[in-house]
Chains A and B, each alone.
Chain A
Amino acid sequence: PRQANPSIPSRSLPARQPANVLEEARTRLHVSSVPESLPCREQEFQDIYSFVESKITDGTGGCMYISGVPGTGKTATVHEVIRCLQHAADADQIPPFTFVEINGMKMTEPHQAYVQVLQKLTGQKATADHAAALLERRFSKPAPRKETTVLLVDELDLLWTRKQNVMYNLFDWPTRRHARLVVLTIANTMDLPERIMINRVASRLGLTRMSFQPYTFKQLQQILTSRLNKLKAFEEDALQLVSRKVAALSGDARRCLDICRRATEICELVGMGHVMEALNEMFSSAYVAAIRSASLQEQLFLRAVIAEFRRLGLEEATFQQVLLQHQALCRVEGLPPVGVSEGLAACLRLGACRLLLLDSSRLGLLMRVRLNASQDDVLFALKAD
């Protein structure tokens, strides 16, 4: 309606500053406190920097595709490159440029990309079609004293449409003679251009590609050490354990930082034990605990499921078959026999927390039952108590 100024109301008192070593460590370990320069990504930084810098100084345009699994520092590295380039531009070492960033996940549908780019470039509001036309004109017409634009497109795979015109335009504009546009695109999978793009789009994206490898344990350890920066909150071995565990699973730096942060909440000086506790908390599956905390009838039902699977030699049975086993088990255990309604209720409760996978419950006795955890897990959980 009017020129609004989006903001969250401000606090009456500023937030408390960290009071002791652990709180300080916790603040530094938060994923949001990105350091000035990212450790272990020097090579990638250099490559992207020289690519963008050469395009800016030559006044030409181009595309680059950056891929890598989540949490490997893609967006942070690009932001760092841009920050350094801004410094260089402020010091008059390179011509000035404008930086625009869009994120595929932060818009409701692909065509919103035009609207957001236009708004960030000129502050103008327009509909998607109109914005596309305006941008088209801007990038194809020659204009004196035009600055280079660096456009960062994060989560590129979300911009896919059936005709792929959004991607096509994004990659086509840099090839225009007067565009002076550098497009940096980021996505997770390495083979995205081959997989989802039609030929003319993939060809315009070009072959300048870079992939971010998952962090190795040494790199993760280095990241943690540099974040903590001589703060005495962690034992050396504890850090190594976290980095080795995370590197073995995913190499996601966010995970590493989150685990360390959780470990600081558990205790004072963080040792191996606390890190183990945090690791178990965040990686372990809850199925075993859930089975152990289930009621006796629910446990019996699970046992009946396994007994029936063994009898059939299949991984699927109808509720009626399982119920027969359940009633037999009740007799063996000396419990009052379960009725159909009671058995069904137990089955549905197990289905609601996804220990079992079920058909729609309208099928009643004919509903098919499958296990969501492995049989070994279930047996282990049932045996241990």
Chain B
Amino acid sequence: MSKRKAKDASLPVGECVAKLQEILRGRICRQQTPARPEGLEAQHKHLLDLLRRTAVHGESNSVLLVGPRGAGKTTLLQCALRDLLQDEEARRNLLQVHLNGLLQTSDGAALKEITRQLQLENVVGDRVFGSFAENLAFLLEALRKGDRSSSRPVLLVLDEFDLFAQHKNQTLLYNLLDASQSAQAPVAVVGLTCRLDVLELLEKRVKSRFSHRQIHLLSSPTFPQYLERVRARLSLPRDFPDGQFARDWNGSVESLCEDKCVREVLHRQFISTSDFRSLHLLLMFCLSRVSVSRPTLRASDLLEASRLCFTDANANMLHGLSILELCLVIAMKHLDDVYQGEPFNLQMVHNEFKKFLQRRSNSLYHFETPVIMQAFEHLQQLELIRPVDGSSAKCQKEFQLMRLMLDHSQVLEALQKYPQCPTDVRQWAASAFGWM
């Protein structure tokens, strides 16, 4: 124990790695609130000012945080709330209600949740009494009786705001926004959504009551900033118990970020999407390869992780097919080429396959019709082919029109990587594509 307190004590590698995994996994998987939102300082200030005015001055407000998925909307709100609650006065006064459009799927459920979180008088324990109508009347009455300077301000956070706009008549939104626009108990309505057209979802009278304040989280980092972010995510903090280990680790992260190969991989990730979440996924793959026997990150880890992230799901699926199924896919591709995207049925595929057998092959692949049908059905179960119209009952299986859900490139890639693909099948496929 005394060792741990000493600044530069060296711990056994096992303990260091365990500690490292704990810290970095907490940072990457559990979405811990960072000390300050990166690249969102202006938005943070706007939101914090707004919340502070509600908490301290009792001003009612409404605001929408809009940004694509993984842009840090929830993080921004959490940062702002944390900074706000450091203020004694705000902490003692502010009441918080958190709702999520995925959980509160109807206004009734949302209202119960609000009542419960506010601990109004019709709540006993965790149960809310009364019907939907009574709950609504109760809440509105409670809000109406309050006033600006004497009642505690209520902060309502509506996550997945666009789903609330799909409720019947948008009653809840109307009432919350109306409360924020009239002389009642102060409320701040904060909505989080990823839809840019969210205002068009609102009814006219609801829209009129919304203050049209939108905070957009649309700034994207440049590549150097992105690299910096990777570095910040991976480096160990100063107060890591084993100073030497931390220095070594940070050094390796530093040199990793300078590596040309790694930069290429990260650049590919960056031009694909610059959001936090996909980056976290990539880093998580790397991190899981760090072990006691190999306590550093290597470029090969990152390459491997990137390969995992960018593999094509359908091409992977093709690798697992049998030769017969692969032949059927090739036959379908032929049909697709010849008839230019017209749908096909089992009979046509079978004919095409027969032609292949007659012309080229020895009798190795002569299968009975039921076997072919089985293979066809298997392809349908994997959703590699899809019926044109959903009604399967009306038509016999052999004559049902289908479409192939695969692209040329996927079939080609699968053929190249298919273990022990017979040469004649490969040639047949090549004759279809012409340029293989």
Contacts and interface: CB of A to CB of B under 8 A. Distances in A.
Contacts of A368: none
Contacts of B313: 341
A286 interface: yes
Interface residues of B, number: 89
A325 to B, nearest CB: 13
A33 B214 contact: no
Nearest to B130: A1
Contact of A289 (B107, B143, B218, B268): B218
Nearest to A339: B312
Chain B CB within 10 A, most for which of A32, A281, A366: A32
Interface stretch (B58-66, B75-83, B286-294): B58-66
Contact of A108 (B121, B132, B142, B314): B132
B109 interface: no
B311 interface: yes
Given A9-B151, A16-B57, A295-B272, A353 B209 contact: no
Contacts of B175: 105-106
Contacts of A179: none
Contacts of B178: 105
B166 interface: no
B407 A323 contact: yes
A10 B150 contact: yes
A154 to B, nearest CB: 10
Interface string B302-327: 00000000111111000000000000
Contacts of B359: none
Nearest to A128: B133
Interface stretch (B17-25, B194-202, B230-238): B194-202
Contact of A11 (B152, B204, B218): B152
A286 B218 contact: yes
Nearest to A288: B218
Given A1-B122, A70-B205, A32 B220 contact: no
B204 A26 contact: no
Given A26-B59, A286-B216, A345-B273, A10 B152 contact: yes
A46 to B, nearest CB: 25
A136 to B, nearest CB: 20
Nearest to A327: B409
Interface string A154-175: 0100100000000000000000
A11 B148 CA distance: 10
B214 A352 contact: no
Interface stretch (B7-15, B29-37, B87-95, B250-258): B87-95
B268 to A, nearest CB: 6
A366 B174 contact: no
A219 interface: no
Contact of B197 (A34, A294, A372): A372
B181 A32 contact: yes
B204 A69 contact: yes
A155 B171 CA distance: 12
B68 A8 contact: no
A134 interface: no
B68 A352 contact: yes
A7 B68 CA distance: 38
Given A4-B122, A8-B152, A188-B204, 10 more contacts: A11-B152, A108-B133, A282-B213, A286-B214, A286-B216, A296-B271, A297-B271, A297-B273, A346-B273, A353-B195
CB-CB nearest 5 A-B residue pairs: A70-B208, A15-B58, A6-B142, A296-B271, A293-B220
25 contacts: A4-B138, A6-B122, A8-B185, A10-B151, A11-B150, A13-B92, A16-B56, A106-B171, A107-B136, A108-B133, A155-B205, A188-B205, A258-B212, A287-B196, A290-B218, A293-B219, A294-B220, A297-B271, A297-B272, A298-B273, A345-B272, A352-B68, A352-B195, A353-B196, A372-B197
